[in-house]
Structure 1
């Protein structure tokens, strides 16, 4: 039934070795488009359900229509830098147990006993690194003071430049942590301040992660795996700073070991660090006013990640393109802004560019450009007497100003700042990259405002146009879905509409459930005879906005699989999940369970674009007021597991 198909337009960024199964919904119900290369329905009615529309057609008869979830497979999207060949099969007894005692109690006991804490739940052995206890090399677990003198938890606070990736393939986590450092208030929810290596040091540290609706405290000791007296996994750029390494260890403990972090979705780590909701943007089919949306998300402190998914699945993992970008790799967006473009005179520009910009980095390129510059220069209005070798900088400046004026006729450039968690010289090489001529058109005041540096630290700028052209996916994680509420944002002034913010807030409903075999694991709408056995949740929508004219209600539905990564060592993997939404007829009560006959004669009002083997799928809808039934399901019947359903609706502020 499931076969290799063409690429889908929408994907969830995945960092890991498992296949990304993208199961595409076909909408609307009345439109049937045959896609034999993607999905070949079987003759069995269980696999290719057929149903009648409730209303009769012009000829007075009901018409047979198909309501099929079509299937395609896509290779894993993007990965982390190091793909260690760890074995993936090991069955161990027991699982992660939450400590009965909290951090302060355990620390006080250790201080009183004058001993350093040893975590019984996450022992310093190879089974905490690899599922089968077989590692690539012989690691030695050491405490920070055994690795270096004068260890510190923080040195001058925490910044995105502290983070250095080690031998573990978890750049999906690093990218989210990099973004988290930009929000100090939220950062110190995850990384509490009340710990360190000076006062009350007892070899014990604690962190907090959002896990399926609750914030969970995770306590660890400070023993870290080393090789040749060097930390082997995430670490700080400053040798005696250890918040990065200990944060990663605590996160590994949550999911049962370091190997459990090898490969994952950036949306997983963003949700675990914020408790927020992630909405994905396909840059190959971007929404309107995308720059304003990203600008607003940045201003609200949302975590934003992005990636490049190749058109061909055979593209090598994390291959570096000629422009410096990396395929199948997680980046974090650390700033969204606009800058003023100025056309300065050639003499002023020559002085600004040659020292220290052009002279050490572009002089060789200028000689090559001299051969082809004449034709372009005539178009730009640059006279031929400027093309001598001694005047090439002026020519380049004139061309740069002309090109920028063509690209940004209003004199403002929309810029995106990105961070590569590798933290090295692997950066974008195009326009607005480090030391590119475009920066000569920015005033010193603007440079100071941007905090502009040209270090080999993995951080770089791109124009918004280049960003959309090169990247394929953006994921925005906000504590509430307000980032995507276009009505509350003043695009012209870049300010949130205070009136809307006062009148409206988001109300969240959380439901925990499970797909149980032979009971509530009915599969998607393709399996009409079992679909009604899935859990069903009703929600009443009322239009809270008094100012809008469309009389529609916004609802954001997020479905999350629970405890799958924790079971990764047992070979458990994410199954394709999604949800379908039906509008409840006026003659039915909200508590009344919809049966098979209802689904045969009533089309859904909406559904997820794809069934995905991702931890979480989130979709936004706009519906008229009324009662709606949400049916979360796996793609096929008898796919079991626990889930968390979050429903965000607009509500009036009382």
Structure 2
């Protein structure tokens, strides 16, 4: 049976409407209420112990430590590790911590960027926590997870060997916010091992829930320097990465850079050197050591070519992992730069008030709404479709980029390392004015005659696919899809538009329920089964299969029903010609009823087999119910 993703989407939408999952009212991760748990521990004089992320080997995971070392791990509270332990000591900074044995440089590089934005940092790391007053061993942190903010509760037992932290550690042995933040994120991922390997964009999005852009430094057409300068003046997080070497190991090159490693971008500046302007980028290694040895490094003679004022403002000679290099060297030795901000103002340097954002949560369901890419001509149209209308306001030139489209897939696995991202992408089609009246999904014939005016560069097995595009005034259709058909996954489609844009999902329902609860769905499927079925051209079908009988209204096990032969025959013939008994909106439309993707997915749950197809008996039962809905 297909997974009931439509039900989850409906419940998530209801929670969102009620204000749940916002920065000020985050959802309780795994239904753990920090306030209630802390109150209970204080009243009863207990030290909190998290039974959903217990201090044992399962929370560490497999593959990070050798069995002999894993057996030596001792979980200790901060006061057992340091005599004057506290949550924060003398504020927070990127220099507070260094990476441990875990390969989560991508996460720590993002924390380094997070420390530059105090208001965002305090959203993720509530600073009213302490290891002194009202202490009972419980802490909480907040992350954005695929469209909603969650509040994550942990205990403060940390894994140690010989009383030393084995993962992230603070430069000040009495400071523990980095280790506790890492533990909270490990809980979200499933274990510490699940944090191994990633990209800074993933954590930066989970810290902000904002706008993300990835700049490929090999793309000469990208305005990378301009974007980085604008981002440096906005409330953004920036990170970058080096290419992976011949082995998975983080090999240190002769120039001091680490292969396959994530860095934080901590500064962008232009200086005057020997009468010429030079573009410099400051980077930080989350190891807390190990720096670039080329031009503009800490001991480079190039610093003698700038004014003493600029040198004093920029240069700090210390083995702290932070260094300067030219933008040209950045493009030479790094592959990409990720920029993540709360608002899209860094994109063009203009007020964020000019940018509008539409967010949609959807789902591809095998057999119903998972049509695959355009290569699958018979099924591509079944994918979710979204209509947008762009007007000419605020567009200064015809080729000005004015639309940022993000497609993010949501995992269906609890453990991050088990997630297998599908290849996802999207296509955008221009809707001729003569077709703007169409309500609901555009049929296969539309895509057979139209070419996309824009699309994602390629289908990628990544968490998120992003494109910054130019769309002229007009109406458009956005179709997100997986590369292969019949692949089930949930997704978030986000459209940031500089021009005035109206957006809506192109499968609006034409009956009274925009969403249904269990009671409403039962009523839709079961009420008045025989209503509207008295037709001259009909036959009697005696349902002898007992598995079909419970579907019918009433307690009679064997009943006689009237089915309109001509309509059923047409539907069956077309299905046999195309999808063999697939539940899709095509067969539903032939019944005279237009439904949305969520209802279609619920039908798949009710009538479909695990293959995404259905038996003849189930198909006939579905058609009967659709006819009843139509007659209403």
TM over 0.5: yes
The answer to whether the aligner puts 1:98 opposite 2:29 as a matched pair is yes
Q: Whole-Å Cα distance in 2 between the matches of residues 457 and 133 of structure 1?
A: 26
Match of 1:610 in 2: 458
Choose from 385, 388, 410 the match for 1:562: 410
Change in Cα spacing, 1:331 to 1:134, as seen in structure 2 (3 Å) is closer
Q: 2:241 aligns with which of 285, 295, 307?
A: 307
**Cα deviation, residue 134, structure 1:** 8.3
Assess, with a 3 A threshold, how the Cα gap between structure 1 residues 632 and 440 changes in structure 2: closer, same or farther. Answer: same
Q: Report the Cα offset of residue 103 of structure 1.
A: 2.1
**Corresponding residue SS for 1:182:** coil
2:267 is equivalent to residue 322 of structure 1: no
Q: Deviations over 1:277-315 (max 9, x none)?
A: 2211111123354322211111103111112226xx735
CA deviation vs aligned residue, 1:530-574 (integer Å, no higher than 9, x gap)? 21111111111122216x1438671111111112563446x3311
1:596 pairs with 2:471: no
Q: Aligned partners of 1:473 and 1:134: how far apart in 2? A: 31
In structure 2, do the counterparts of structure 1 residues 101 and 324 end up closer, same or farther at CA, with 3 Å as the change threshold? Answer: closer
Change beyond 3 A, Cα 1:144–1:234: same
Matched, 1:523 2:386: no
The answer to whether the aligner puts 1:107 opposite 2:34 as a matched pair is no
The reply to whether residue 333 of structure 1 matches residue 270 of structure 2 is no
**What whole-Å deviation, never above 9, does each CA across 1:239-284 have from its counterpart, x for those lacking one?**
1110000001111111211111111222111100111222111111
Number of the residue aligned with 1:639: 487
Alignment of 1:472-511 (within 5 A): 472-485=335-348, 488=349, 500-501=350-351, 504-511=353-360
Question: What is the rounded CA distance, in whole Å, between the counterparts of 1:305 and 1:192 in structure 2?
Answer: 23
* Structure 1 residue aligned with 2:559: none
Q: CA deviation at 1:631?
A: 0.9
Partners of 2:397 and 2:227 lie apart in 1 by 22
Q: Which residue of the other structure, out of 257, 265, 279, is the alignment partner of 1:414? A: 279
Are the equivalent residues in 1 in contact too, given 2:263–2:286 (CA < 8 A)? yes
Structure 2 counterpart SS, 1:339: strand
1:158 equivalent in structure 2? 92
Corresponding residue number in structure 1 for 2:60: 129
Q: Which residue of 1 aligns with 2:573?
A: none
Contact 2:47 2:136 in 1 (8 A): yes
Q: Paired residue for 2:497?
A: 649
Determine if contact 1:538/1:591 at 8 Å carries over to the other structure: no
CA distance, structure 1, for counterparts of residue 412 and residue 466 of structure 2: 18
Match for residue 394 of structure 2 among 545, 549, 559: 545
Q: Secondary structure at 1:539's aligned position in 2?
A: strand
Residue of structure 2 in register with 1:116 after alignment: 47
Q: Residue 205 of structure 2 aligns to a residue in which SS?
A: helix
Instruction: Tell me: higher relative CO, structure 1 or 2? Use CA pairs within 8 A at least 6 residues apart.
Output: 1
Gaps of 5+ in 2: 1-26, 502-632
1:127-206 equivalences under 5 Å are 127-130=58-61, 136=67, 137=69, 138=71, 139-206=73-140
Unaligned runs of 5+ in 1: 1-95, 342-404, 489-499
The aligned residue for residue 332 of structure 2 is 469
- In structure 2, what is the Cα distance between the partners aligned to 1:583 and 1:220? 49
Per-residue CA distance 1:478-534 (angstroms, 9 max, x = gap): 22222222xx4xxxxxxxxxxx538x4222111111111111111111111221111
Three-state SS of the structure 2 residue aligned to 1:587 is helix
Structure 1 consecutive aligned stretches of length 4 or more whose deviation exceeds 6 Å? none
Query: Is the CA contact 2:235–2:342 (under 8 Å) kept in the aligned structure 1?
Result: no
**Whole-Å separation in 2 of the counterparts to 1:590 and 1:557:** 23
Mapped partners of 1:262, 1:440: distance in 2? 41
Query: Residue 304 of structure 2 aligns to a residue in which SS?
Result: helix
From the superposition, tell whether residues 97 and 477 of structure 1 become closer, same or farther in structure 2 (CA, over 3 Å). Answer: closer
For residue 178 of structure 1, report the CA deviation from its aligned partner: 0.6
2:213 to 265, 270, 279: 279
CA–CA distance in structure 1, aligned partners of residues 434 and 500 of structure 2: 27
Change (3 A) 1:557 1:151: same
Name the counterpart of 1:583: 430
Question: How many residues were matched structurally?
Answer: 471
With structure 1 as the length reference, what TM-score do the two structures score?
Answer: 0.69
